[in-house]
């Protein structure tokens, strides 16, 4: 991802930061928080418009994350049988993209491995899924590593992550300074 992939104003980053810090606040309450903590004076209607626009532009997505105790989480690492890759990768990719158990799917390592974080209610359900996955896509897979993530200690984005973005501009720095007052 290139550093300039999203051109978002410091004001809008601050609104997003306030939303992440206060996920259940109404836009009316967000309006008050923004005024008090950052000196940003906007109506709740305007805040709603800005959040909707950022959502439509996929600057953020609203996602419901169930309590991490509801599921067991697993990390799968897949490497490929490259002679079979060209004819088989696309279907496997689509299956992983659309599988409801897959929480996160990404490419990592210099060996072009796919990594999948998946969630299942029980080990037996995970084992059955892996079996079915191999029945369907085993020809593509050279190696498959499975790690159960026994204790997921943190599973959320902190609002403070946006401070790094705000520090990049003078306007953003002013919002952070206002917050400290």
Which residues make Cβ contacts (< 8 Å) with residue 151, sequence separation at least 6? none
Let me know if residue 166 belongs to a domain: no
172 within some domain: no
- pLDDT means per 10 residues, the chain with 181 residues, are 66 94 93 95 95 91 76 93 89 95 88 90 96 95 92 82 91 88 73
Strands 141-149, 72-80: pairing kind? antiparallel
| pLDDT given for residue 1 in this prediction | 39
Question: Structurally, how many domains does the chain consist of?
Answer: 2
* Whether 79 and 129 share a structural domain: yes
Rg of the chain over CA atoms, in angstroms?
Answer: 21
Instruction: Record the tokens describing residue 179, joined without a space.
Output: 């917050």
The reply to whether 55 and 73 lie within a common domain is no
In a domain, 158, yes or no: no
Question: What is the domain range of residue 18?
Answer: 10-64
Q: Is there a single domain that holds both residue 53 and residue 102? A: no
Do 51 and 103 fall into the same domain? no
Q: Are residues 40 and 103 in the same domain?
A: no
Give pTM, 2 decimals.
0.70
**Residue 41 and residue 22 in one domain:** yes
Query: Do 77 and 141 fall into the same domain?
Result: yes
d(CA 55, CA 81): 39
Q: What b/e sequence results for 73-104 when a residue is b if at least 16 CB atoms lie within 10 Å of its CB, and e otherwise?
A: bbebbbebeeeeeeebeeebeeebeeeebbbe
Residue 6: its pLDDT value, please?
66
Cβ-proximal residues to 142 (8 Å cutoff; 6+ apart), any chain: 79, 80, 81, 82
CATH number reported for the structural domain that contains residue 52 in this entry: 1.10.10
The CATH number covering residue 104 comes to 3.30.70.920
């Amino acid at each position: 991802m290139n550093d300039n992939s999203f051109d978002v104003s410091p004001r809008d980053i601050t609104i997003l930061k306030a939303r992440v810090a206060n996920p259940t606040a109404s836009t009316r309450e967000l309006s008050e928080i923004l005024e008090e903590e950052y000196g940003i004076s906007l109506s709740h209607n305007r805040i709603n418009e800005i959040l909707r626009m950022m959502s439509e532009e996929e600057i953020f997505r609203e996602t419901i994350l169930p309590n991490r105790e509801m599921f067991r989480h697993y990390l799968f690492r897949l490497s490929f049988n490259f002679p079979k890759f060209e004819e088989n990768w696309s279907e496997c990719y689509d299956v992983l993209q659309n599988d409801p158990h897959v929480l996160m799917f990404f490419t990592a390592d210099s060996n072009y491995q796919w990594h999948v974080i998946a969630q299942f209610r029980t080990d037996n359900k995970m084992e059955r899924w892996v079996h079915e996955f191999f029945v369907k896509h085993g020809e593509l897979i050279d190696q498959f590593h499975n790690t159960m993530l026994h204790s997921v200690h943190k599973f959320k984005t902190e609002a403070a992550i946006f401070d790094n973005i705000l520090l990049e501009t003078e306007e953003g720095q002013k919002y952070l300074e206002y917050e400290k007052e």
